[in-house]
Amino acid sequence: MADGLLQISPPTPFEEQGFIVRPRLFAFDEIAWVRDEARIVALRRGQAGRAPAGQAWTAEAPAGTVYGAHLNEATFRKLAAHPRLIAVARDLLGEDVYVHQSRLISRFEEASTDIAWRRDFATWSATDGMATPRAVTAAIVLGESGPQTPIMYVAPGSHGGKDISGGGAAVAVAAPFGSVVFYRADLAYAFNQFADRRSSPLFLVSYSAASNLPVRFARDEIYAARRAAAPIVEADDCMWPASWCAAG
């Protein structure tokens, strides 16, 4: 406070736009091998971990998405508990966090055009009973992207209830390998809009504020958390390949 006046901080880009991009949060050598792991997990798990047909929340993610890799796949467990991701999530939400959900979008299968606009909180509120949109998703880029092959599309400011049905507010987001896009649970976003252009694989980790635990548990734990257990944070160098570390 100065001269008796209350100093009000201007809104941050995240508060104003509903998303931020952290370019190259992970080094190329640190994260490039995870793309191969994504292929292995997607092929090995087959239909396991994919949204059951006929569920009201089936459209929550593109066809072929694998849920819950952070629970039983060592690579993705470490990535979801990485201190760089946890630190940003805690900073954006202002308190401790837990992992509500993870989704691996491998994009190794041929997929049809996916132009659906989504707001994660709409599903989490209706299906899981999440009380407020105090949650943020980290979309980790596991491939190359550019103007013609964006990671995703967002509607900046749509978390304020802005109507995006016309699509005019769409902004394409592209970022290098190892970058992370953090976006609010109530932000409108979409994935592939062109069937003939292959987009980067993504690993989505959704962190919710510890005080924002869902109250309905209709889904198996691989699809949505049942308790607000804080992740055991890994060491900062946990994603470096073991062979590289052994070589010094």
Res 57: pLDDT: 87
Contact in structure between 126 and 56 (CB atoms under 8 Å) = yes
DSSP codes, 156-186: TTGGGT---TT-TT-EEE---TT-EEEEETT
Alpha-helix residue ranges (DSSP H) falling in the chain:
13-17, 28-31, 34-45, 69-72, 74-80, 83-93, 120-128, 242-246
Q: Stretch 194-223: mean pLDDT, rounded?
A: 84
* Chain centroid to CA 2: 40
For the question of whether the overall pTM of this predicted structure is more than 0.75, the answer is: yes
Least confident range from 53-57, 73-77, 141-145: namely 53-57
In this predicted model, which residue has the larger pLDDT, 227 or 68? Answer: 68
Strands 152-154 and 189-190, how do they pair?
antiparallel
Q: What percent of the chain has pLDDT over 70?
A: 82
pLDDT band for position 227 (50/70/90)?
confident
pLDDT band for position 196 (50/70/90)?
very low
Amino acid at 36: D
For the chain, helix, strand, coil in percent to 5 are 25, 20, 55
Partners of 2 in the beta sheet? 5
Does the domain formed by 13-246 have CATH 2.60.40.10?
no
| Alpha-carbon span 164 to 195, nearest angstrom | 22
| Alpha-carbon span 161 to 146, nearest angstrom | 29
Res 44: pLDDT: 80
Return mean pLDDT, the chain: 85
CA dist 184 → 20, 59, 107, 127 (Å): 9, 18, 23, 18
| Alpha-carbon span 23 to 212, nearest angstrom | 28
Res 214: pLDDT: 87
Contact in structure between 26 and 178 (CB atoms under 8 Å) = yes
Query: Does residue 117 surpass a pLDDT of 70?
Result: yes
| Alpha-carbon span 237 to 223, nearest angstrom | 28
Res 167: pLDDT: 47
